Amino acid sequence: MPATLPWNRHNWPIAAAMIQYPNILPDGRCVQDVPAEEWAATLADVADAGFTELDPTDSWLRIADLGRSRLDEFMGVVRDAGLTIPAISTARRSVIDAQHGEEYLDYSHRLIDVAAEIGAGAVSFGLFQALTPEQKRALWFWTVDGYRDPDDRATWALAVRRLRELGRHAADAGIELSLEMYEDTYLGTADSAVRFVTDIDLPNVGLNADLGNLVRMHRPVEHWRTMMEKVAPFARYWHVKNYFRTEDATTGMVVTAPAPLEFGVISYRAAIREALGHGFRSAFLVEHYGGDGLSVSATNREYLRRILPR
């Protein structure tokens, strides 16, 4: 591992995810439209959980779709909460969506511009699409099959072309792009993800090695360690979460459930060492589904602080 690291365990950027906060509130209002005081109340939760960084996560708030005055308001709320934004993630806005792909491509360009403006160093994009009605009804959406990228050369080529376009824009803006690994997309296995990012072939475009998205599946999956060995050379901005996973070899039954980072099937101590050995120098995002996701994310942050280099 190279001797020089940009940060140490005390100051490595570890952002809170906002996946536990909905975009549509119980009273029907959209978070895009609420007064800044309501944004401030939400971000006070994040700060009270001990975070100094957050990822707005566009499943909660689409900052690229805020007007100038509203964006200024939001960034004022972020500063007042003592927070910074090292990176921004997108969710379910695939640039090859059959209905909205071009719209999402335009949105992605706007998001890169906003990320550069506010000082975020990375944007995470994915190819996963909207949850199906059946997935929305399930306790854990990943236990129900959802969208699959087609086994089609032309669609693969379109995805590569559009994400390469975004990568070039990001390079001009000084931004890294991190492509989120996610089941049944072209980034849904380690081998496919490596082939995909290699086809894009830009130095600022890498992989969001979110292996949690894969080990949670109720089906056979490649061992997390061999996946990590394959994707570590390409690792960029990284979503980290973990799952309990039990496999019954006699029946083939697989059961998974969300776990705090240090208790699940993935050893992040080993995974992070693997990535650091290949030059990983990006921020982390900690997330957790179920229960008080923010508080579990805070414990995940403290676990990372213990195992990152001194």
Q: How confident is the model at residue 301 (pLDDT cuts 50, 70, 90)?
A: very high
pLDDT, average across residues 248-261: 96
In a 3-state reduction of DSSP, which class is residue 285? strand
Query: pLDDT at residue 3 above 70?
Result: no
- 129-167 pLDDT per residue, tens: 999 999 999 999 999 999 999 999 999 999 999 999 999
pLDDT, average across residues 6-12: 96
The 3-class secondary structure across 139-192, one letter per residue, is CCHHHCCCCCCCCCHHHHHHHHHHHHHHHHHHHHHCCEEEEECCCCCCCCCHHH
- 187-208 pLDDT per residue, tens: 999 999 999 999 999 999 999 9
Q: How many CB atoms lie within 10 A of CB 70?
A: 15
pTM (two decimals) = 0.96
What CATH superfamily is the domain 14-307? Divalent-metal-dependent TIM barrel enzymes (3.20.20.150)
Query: pLDDT at residue 299 above 80?
Result: yes
d(C-alpha 187, C-alpha 192), whole Å: 6
Residue 2: per-residue pLDDT: 47
Residue 206: per-residue pLDDT: 98
Domain range annotation of the chain: 14-307
Helices then strands, counting H and E runs in the chain, come out as: 10, 9
Long-range contacts from 3-8, C-beta under 8 angstroms, 24+ separation: 5/276, 5/281, 5/309, 6/281, 7/308, 8/308, 8/309, 8/310
DSSP structural state of residue 30: B
- 17-38 pLDDT per residue, tens: 999 999 999 999 999 999 999 9
Query: pLDDT at residue 122 above 60?
Result: yes
d(C-alpha 213, C-alpha 227), whole Å: 12
Please report, in angstroms and rounded to a whole number, the separation of the first and last CA atoms in the chain.
14
Q: Please provide the average confidence, as pLDDT, over all residues in the chain.
A: 97
Residue 264: per-residue pLDDT: 98
Query: pLDDT at residue 55 above 60?
Result: yes
- 222-251 pLDDT per residue, tens: 999 999 999 999 999 999 999 999 999 999
Q: How confident is the model at residue 4 (pLDDT cuts 50, 70, 90)?
A: confident
Quote the percentage of the chain above a pLDDT of 90.
Answer: 98
Query: pLDDT at residue 1 above 60?
Result: no
d(C-alpha 173, C-alpha 7), whole Å: 22
Residue 232: per-residue pLDDT: 98
